[in-house]
Amino acid sequence: MKSRPHHSAPQEVELKLSLPGPHAAELAKRLAQLPALARRKPSRLSLSNIYFDTPDQALRQQGVALRLRRVGSEADPRWLQTLKTSSGERSALSQRGEWESPVAGPALDRAALAHTAWTGIDPDGRLFAALAPCFVTRFERTLWLVRRRGGSVVEVALDIGQVEANGKQAPICELELELKAGDSTALFALAHQLGRGVALLPANRSKAERGFLLAQDALDLPQRAQRAPLVLPLSRLELAQRVLREMFGHFSQNLEALGTSDDPEVVHQARVGWRRFRSGLRLFGKTLALSQPPAWLDLQPLLAGLGALRDLDVAVTETLPSLADGYTLGDVGRAQAWQAVLAALTQAAAAQRQQLRQSQQAPAVGLCLLALTEWLENLSAADNGGPVQRGALRRWARRRTGRLQQRLAQAHKQADTPQQQHRVRILAKRLRYGVEALRALLPRHQADTCIEQASQLQGRLGQSRDVAQASALVVALALDRHIEAYLQGVAVGFKAGLGSAP
């Protein structure tokens, strides 16, 4: 249990991991049998937590969480009040301020916050007066204390239960590795050891974040790209770390949401996140020369599955609906045939989504994601230089963006074949992702021009690609040769239109 005196300003260093799969009890049993934990006697706690915020979520907006925790039964409870702060960056490894104090009962105690970060957050007490319960979490916690060679100590906490808000519930099934002594390499070493026996996925969202999202009916909504926090001065490697961490977090948060969400946009944002991460690696290619990322060969089946599902989703929800009237022309028989094709594609998408969820339960996938997370967290440690002046970083960003513009313009002039047009689309994405990541370092006019140019090319070429892909999917189903012929004709028309475009 995390009990510390009022006057301390501790840093909680914790690695959060989710356990994918529908059978929490079975996962817990398998975890307890792993060699790293099997010989250690666990302890168990029943925990109930109430999280507080203002009606406009002023604390959440500052990366702050305030909760009351009941330990034990209702008949014999102990109450703890905890304040946590965070940097706001998306990462499974969190380093947060944490202040915990015993309190008399199930009510917030302002006096217990006197020697904490709260004095800077709420100097006049107005926030405290506006606080109200937002949501609760209830879970069973199993604890193991793992002492490793070299003196490191890690507390392993398995939490199984649920978060509850406004009459809604969402399951909790996660593993938290908290550093008690040593450095963060011990967390990753133990996580890799455990991850060889049970699938563990890096989890960027805390229970508090999940609770706030559930309260807003937004828990399973797609997570979109954010601007990385670029507080200058930074070294180039620190700049790369901030940008790449946000991009990888964009990918992994949507990948986690895929486990429970059927929203096609979740799949789309997961793919966008991965493409942004790959583009970011290219963007900082020379900067990363001395610290190459680990291989992600074990992610390839998952990534291919995301692509296949996205093609099906686009065909069902966007491409085919937009082309339906051109084929059916009010004819009942044609309309029925069209609906049969849509139904078959919808069924194929559901099967592909389920297959993706199964692939997330492969330990190799979690280990690969964990290795990338560890690489990102250690990236700035490889930096032998110091911070770069603001002007030097701005000049580098302008030069790097200018080269991407030139490559895109040259490829566009030479784009006569479908393969060359596909290359243009890839380069347009790289330009847009790079400019969005470095926007704080670029002149506004240059950034706006680049994004507009890239977005227009992406839109035109993407529409052509989507029609061709929908045609290929319908051909693969072999359900209706007349619909096949119609879609192939539309695809040819799109290609001809692109070929004649300036």
Distance of alpha carbon 143 from alpha carbon 45, whole angstroms: 8
- Tens of pLDDT, residue by residue over 154-197, are 999 999 999 999 999 999 999 999 999 999 999 999 999 999 99
When pLDDT is averaged across residues 120-144 and rounded to a whole number, the result is 96
Q: Which of the two residues, 156 and 10, has the higher pLDDT score?
A: 156
Q: Largest Cα–Cα distance of the chain, in whole Å?
A: 78
Distance of alpha carbon 18 from alpha carbon 36, whole angstroms: 18
- Tens of pLDDT, residue by residue over 360-378, are 999 999 999 999 999 999 9
- How far out from the chain centre does Cα 143 lie? 27
Q: How many CA atoms lie within 13 A of 235 on its CB side?
A: 14
Confidence of residue 499 (pLDDT cuts 50, 70, 90): very low
How many of the other CB atoms lie within 10 Å of CB of 450? 23
pLDDT at residue number 493: 84
When pLDDT is averaged across residues 93-100 and rounded to a whole number, the result is 92
User: Does the pLDDT at position 5 exceed 80?
Assistant: no
Confidence of residue 9 (pLDDT cuts 50, 70, 90): low
Confidence of residue 233 (pLDDT cuts 50, 70, 90): confident
User: Does the pLDDT at position 75 exceed 90?
Assistant: no
User: Does the pLDDT at position 387 exceed 90?
Assistant: no
Q: Are 461 and 422 in contact (CB under 8 A)?
A: yes
Q: Which residues pair with 95 in a beta bridge?
A: 13
70 sits in which H/E element: strand 64-71
Q: Are 112 and 99 in contact (CB under 8 A)?
A: no
Confidence of residue 22 (pLDDT cuts 50, 70, 90): confident
Q: How many CA atoms lie within 13 A of 231 on its CB side?
A: 4
Q: Are 273 and 247 in contact (CB under 8 A)?
A: yes
Angle between helical axes of 418-438 and 444-477 (0-180°, round to 10)? 140
pLDDT at residue number 98: 94
Q: What share of the chain is helix, strand, coil (3-state, %, to 5)?
A: 55, 20, 25
pLDDT at residue number 497: 66
Average pLDDT, the chain: 91
Token pair for residue 7? 């006057």
Query: What is the value of pTM for the model shown?
Result: 0.92
- Tens of pLDDT, residue by residue over 341-355, are 999 999 999 999 999
Distance of alpha carbon 84 from alpha carbon 101, whole angstroms: 12
Beta strands in 107-262 (DSSP E): 132-147, 153-165, 168-181, 201-202
User: Does the pLDDT at position 6 exceed 70?
Assistant: no
